[in-house]
Chain A
Amino acid sequence: MRAPRWPLAKSRRGQPACRRRPTEPGQGDSPHASEGRKSEAEPPRGPSAMEPSPGWGHQAGREGREGRLAPKELDLLGPDVVANVARLRERLGDPPDLVVRQTGSAEAVLYLSTLTSTRELSEAVVKPLLQGACSGREVEPGNAVTIPRVRAVQRFEEACQALLDGEAVLLRQGHRGGWRVDVREYPKRQVAPPESEPGTRGPREAFVEDLDVNLSLVRRKLRTPHLRVERIVVGRLTRTSVAVLYLAQLARPEVVVHLRQRLQHLDVPGVLGVEYLAELIEDHPWSPFPGLASTERPDVVASYLLEGGVAILMDGTSFALAGPTTFISLMQSASDYYQRWSVGTFVRYLRWLGMLLAMVTPSVYVSLLTFHHELIPPRLLFTVVSGREGVPFPPVLEALAMELAFEILREAGLRMPRQIGPAFSIAGVLVIGDAAVRAGLVSPLMLVVVGLTAVASFAIPNEDLANAVRILRFPLLAASGFLGFFGVVALLMAVGAHLVGMHSLGLPFFSPLAPVRPRAWPDAMARAPFWSHLFRPWIRRDRDEPLPDLERGR
């Protein structure tokens, strides 16, 4: 039989959502959790669950591949508890943290102690089962446990996966299949202020490594029934939960479908961070510029969603992806919106200036000193040249060496223990720089140029964009050393052409400047007052469309 092209086919046979992990209490697969699940845009289970509408069934991208597994692995759980336990133990390689507890004469609970809350398990599962056994009443274990996150499990592989996800599996002698109870407990970090996107004002909370916590952070900001959360499992071995968030009717359907398809078609052993996903799904993976915005701030994700964008959260990472993004968006910071519009506008222009300085300052310095002396005012030139007296290297090599040295210092500072890292960086810059100047290896102005470049690069709010600028600085430097301003301008034109040709989830990356859409300019060229632009979805659209009125449900 021909294998289905889309791995969705397996789920269509009625095995959806086996790896779904409920996000909130009361949203499990137990019968009394069905209402809660619908709020997360889950399609109903069963044969109709795999319609093209978004929902849990799309995790079946993985399921489809499993549909091609050996027939033996597709076996159902049998009625013999002892045999099932033995098979599960064998399938998992008899791990030392696999615990099998007998709760009655004919019942067994299996769980991995390293992933499970034993206290909750004892209180909510084992104790009710033991009480039921003692009372002599015949109660189905799925109904006896006192926590709602209980789902029936039929397939053997599904039971294995439940154990690996941290759930407990209940088996009863003589009963085909079993129950999976969500009593997971992972070590998790407390919500803390953002480290890579700090701000003096605005909310001081950042994502953590737990997907449920991250979802709750976003939900707290968007308490609307239009918020859609789709979960997709990515990674053949890591089985990582990925959540796609968007506001129904506001996000462009083609963008959502586009993103969903890309995630579904991923065929990788594993993803360990959201950055993996970004590289795997973005439009231009060879580009130094990011195709999706990476952020650790829930308010940034919320703003993207309010503007009609899509966000991706991933379990195990404290960063989220948001898109479609634009070059302009990457130059904006959340703090722009937490201060007055005039200050925000000024800071934005400063940031643009900083980016320009970070990119071209060394190359302009080299061009001026090598090719275009006449562009420097005489007194300044004499000062510059006096500093270069005795320096044995041409300006381009001097600049390259200093830039590389700075990058090495920066990288070494990151690897240093936190206690000595800053001190080391300062010592590196001051001591080594001063020593290099005294030794006549570099000119004092070169230190100024490198320092200015370094400081300016920190003005770029998005780290991925800042890294792209860092990388581009070196070819620009080489071009300036060979060709002067001509080389710099030629390379900048090439970069500009590349940027104009880029797309992010289908949206032109240089929008609204190219293509020109003046309607979106108030929040692009400046930080216009809120009444003029607040959360207008055309920002993330490449054409002007009638906007839905979410408040009236249209």
Chain B
Amino acid sequence: MTVGRRCLFWWTLVLTLGLATAGCWDAVPAEEVAFSNAVGLDLASPKQQSDEGMPAPAGALVVTHLIARPEVLGQRAETTGGSVSLAAKPFVLISEAAGAVEGVRAEATAFLSRRIRVDFVQVLVLGEELARQGASPAVHWALRQRNLRPTTFLVVAVGTAQRLLDAQPSLDPLPADSLRALLQQARRSGLAWPVTVLDFGRWLLSPTRDPVAPLVERSRALAEPAEPGAEQAPLWRDRSASDLENRLLGLALFRGDRMVGRAEGAAARGLLLMLGEFAGTVVVPAPVPGQGQRLVAAVITRCRSRLEPTVVGERLTVGVQVTARALVQEVQDLGGVHTPQVARALTRRLEEALAGDVRAAWALLQQTGADAAGIAEQLYRRDPRAWAALRGRWLQVYRAADLKVAVRVELAQGTVYR
């Protein structure tokens, strides 16, 4: 065989193998694809089932695809004050009830002129009712999707996922964009941290940790338009509705695959502190000499935590050590805060506030039995034998555990300077 023929043979072989394995034959022009931007999963209500005129299977789901409309998103109508106005609603919601998530996609194909692709799903939204009934089917479906990114965010909606996806956020054309942005800066809110489908699935499969997911609800906008003509919201929005925005509420606590509670406010902050994820703002009263109590706002710029579960006999004690660096951001009075006495007092107040949040979170965790902080996981790592001994009655031990909290705050920018 000559060199040329041998070369040709190898090229042909490589090309054939490549074509056979690469799957490049299924070309789909982008304009023939319906890009699902978010998927919402709800438990079908009896009303929805009766509308279809047939008995729905037990545990039937309502699957909602948020399909972006590129032709609307691409239109750049008149710009007003820097914001972009859209001539029409830039997305459509496609909902269908079915026994399985994938069945909806199959049924949608029958009436939709484009193929639904989940490559661009940014958020998987679970309705609260579905989360309480069990999130395993939804998460397993998401993890089995070849084209759905494992880094897709997962949230739990207060109410239905469909309603959450039908929000009309002011600053983003698509609700999914708004949700993604909310989650990306969740730590700053001090209420949650972003959780991906991969995280959630890993926790579901873990015997030593319970899942947790951000909790989002429909909410009114923070501010109403000041006067006619000042509104800069996109034109298509129906302003008659009062709750157009989505708002981060806290964390949904799971035990196993079922949602068992909500952590909001102090409990949510405490859980974030326990996990070292807190980066929010804390407002505490501090004593200013001669002026009584003044409010001081401090931003936690760095937070570290250490969980140390120890077992003595049958008793579990959980030690939580939190180290935080706080930046004084706002003081209601300029004088006196930089004095050592005030700084010490302020530090103590901050430590007490953060410790109080941790205790609130711990109380909620014990009440719901959700091990969202991963105490069992830490115990397993520190003392596998103790974990093995307690595994069978972990819930009882967990609910009766003691908590020791130690918070140390390092204060920065105590003085006023530029």
Q: Measured between alpha carbons, how far is A370 from B120 in the docked complex, in Å?
A: 16
Known: A369-B30, A373-B117, A389-B31. A486 touches B70 (CB 8 A): no
Known: A385-B74, A386-B70, A483-B19. A374 touches B30 (CB 8 A): no
Q: Measured between alpha carbons, how far is A382 from B90 in the docked complex, in Å?
A: 11
Q: Are B27 and A371 in contact (CB under 8 A)?
A: yes
From A384, which residue of chain B is reached at the shortest CB distance?
Answer: B30
Known: A389-B70, A490-B18. A378 touches B30 (CB 8 A): no
* B31 proximity list for chain A (CB < 8 A): 385, 388-389, 391
Q: Are A388 and B30 in contact (CB under 8 A)?
A: yes
Q: Are A484 and B24 in contact (CB under 8 A)?
A: yes
Q: Measured between alpha carbons, how far is A383 from B30 in the docked complex, in Å?
A: 11
Q: Name B95-132 residues within 8 Å CB distance of A.
A: 117, 119-120, 122
Closest-CB distance, B148 to chain A (whole angstroms): 10
Q: Measured between alpha carbons, how far is A373 from B28 in the docked complex, in Å?
A: 9
Judged by a CB distance under 8 angstroms, whether A395 is at the interface is yes
* A384 proximity list for chain B (CB < 8 A): 30, 70
B interface footprint on A479-513 (CB within 8 Å = 1, 0 otherwise): 00011111100100010000000000000000000
Which residue of the partner chain, among A370, A381, A387, A490, contacts B27 with CB atoms under 8 Å? A370
* A371 proximity list for chain B (CB < 8 A): 24, 27-28
Closest-CB distance, B201 to chain A (whole angstroms): 20
Judged by a CB distance under 8 angstroms, whether B75 is at the interface is yes
Judged by a CB distance under 8 angstroms, whether B267 is at the interface is no
From B71, which residue of chain A is reached at the shortest CB distance?
Answer: A389
Q: Are A383 and B70 in contact (CB under 8 A)?
A: yes
Q: Are B120 and A374 in contact (CB under 8 A)?
A: yes
* A485 proximity list for chain B (CB < 8 A): 24
* A374 proximity list for chain B (CB < 8 A): 119-120, 147
Closest-CB distance, B16 to chain A (whole angstroms): 11
Judged by a CB distance under 8 angstroms, whether A394 is at the interface is yes
Q: Are A389 and B29 in contact (CB under 8 A)?
A: no
Q: Are A382 and B73 in contact (CB under 8 A)?
A: yes
Known: A382-B35, A384-B30, A490-B18. A373 touches B119 (CB 8 A): yes
Q: Are B74 and A383 in contact (CB under 8 A)?
A: yes
Question: Is chain A's binding surface mostly helix, strand, loop or mixed?
Answer: helix
Closest-CB distance, A482 to chain B (whole angstroms): 8
Of B14, B22, B147, which is in contact with the most chain A CB atoms at under 10 Å from its CB? B22
Judged by a CB distance under 8 angstroms, whether B37 is at the interface is yes
From B31, which residue of chain A is reached at the shortest CB distance?
Answer: A388
* B120 proximity list for chain A (CB < 8 A): 373-374, 378, 381
Q: Are B71 and A484 in contact (CB under 8 A)?
A: no
From B117, which residue of chain A is reached at the shortest CB distance?
Answer: A373
Closest-CB distance, B31 to chain A (whole angstroms): 5
Q: Are A381 and B28 in contact (CB under 8 A)?
A: no
Known: A371-B24, A395-B29, A486-B18. A389 touches B74 (CB 8 A): yes
Q: Are B22 and A486 in contact (CB under 8 A)?
A: yes
* B29 proximity list for chain A (CB < 8 A): 369-370, 388, 394-395
Of B11, B70, B122, which is in contact with the most chain A CB atoms at under 10 Å from its CB? B70
Judged by a CB distance under 8 angstroms, whether B244 is at the interface is no
* B88 proximity list for chain A (CB < 8 A): none
Which residue of the partner chain, among A370, A386, A394, A490, contacts B75 with CB atoms under 8 Å? A386
* B28 proximity list for chain A (CB < 8 A): 370-371, 373
* A395 proximity list for chain B (CB < 8 A): 29-30
Judged by a CB distance under 8 angstroms, whether B61 is at the interface is no
Closest-CB distance, A189 to chain B (whole angstroms): 47
* B72 proximity list for chain A (CB < 8 A): 386
* B37 proximity list for chain A (CB < 8 A): 378
* B119 proximity list for chain A (CB < 8 A): 373-374
Closest-CB distance, B139 to chain A (whole angstroms): 21
Q: Measured between alpha carbons, how far is A482 from B18 in the docked complex, in Å?
A: 13
From A375, which residue of chain B is reached at the shortest CB distance?
Answer: B119
Q: Are A382 and B18 in contact (CB under 8 A)?
A: no
Q: Are A382 and B68 in contact (CB under 8 A)?
A: yes
Q: Are B73 and A386 in contact (CB under 8 A)?
A: yes
* A381 proximity list for chain B (CB < 8 A): 30, 35, 70, 120
Closest-CB distance, A479 to chain B (whole angstroms): 10
* A482 proximity list for chain B (CB < 8 A): 24
Q: Measured between alpha carbons, how far is A389 from B18 in the docked complex, in Å?
A: 32
Kindly list the 3 A-B residue pairs having the minimum CB-CB distance in the complex, ordered from nearest: A386-B74, A385-B70, A374-B119
Residues of chain A at the chain B interface (Cβ within 8 Å): 369-371, 373-374, 378-379, 381-389, 391, 394-395, 482-487, 490, 494
Excluding A378-B35, A388-B30, 5 further A-B contacts by CB distance (< 8 Å) are A374-B119, A389-B71, A391-B31, A484-B22, A485-B24
A-B contact pairs, 15 of them (CB 8 A): A369-B29, A370-B28, A370-B29, A371-B27, A373-B35, A373-B119, A378-B35, A378-B68, A381-B35, A382-B35, A382-B74, A386-B71, A386-B72, A394-B29, A395-B30
Residues of chain B at the chain A interface (Cβ within 8 Å): 11, 14-15, 18-19, 22, 24, 27-31, 33, 35, 37, 68, 70-75, 117, 119-120, 122, 147, 177
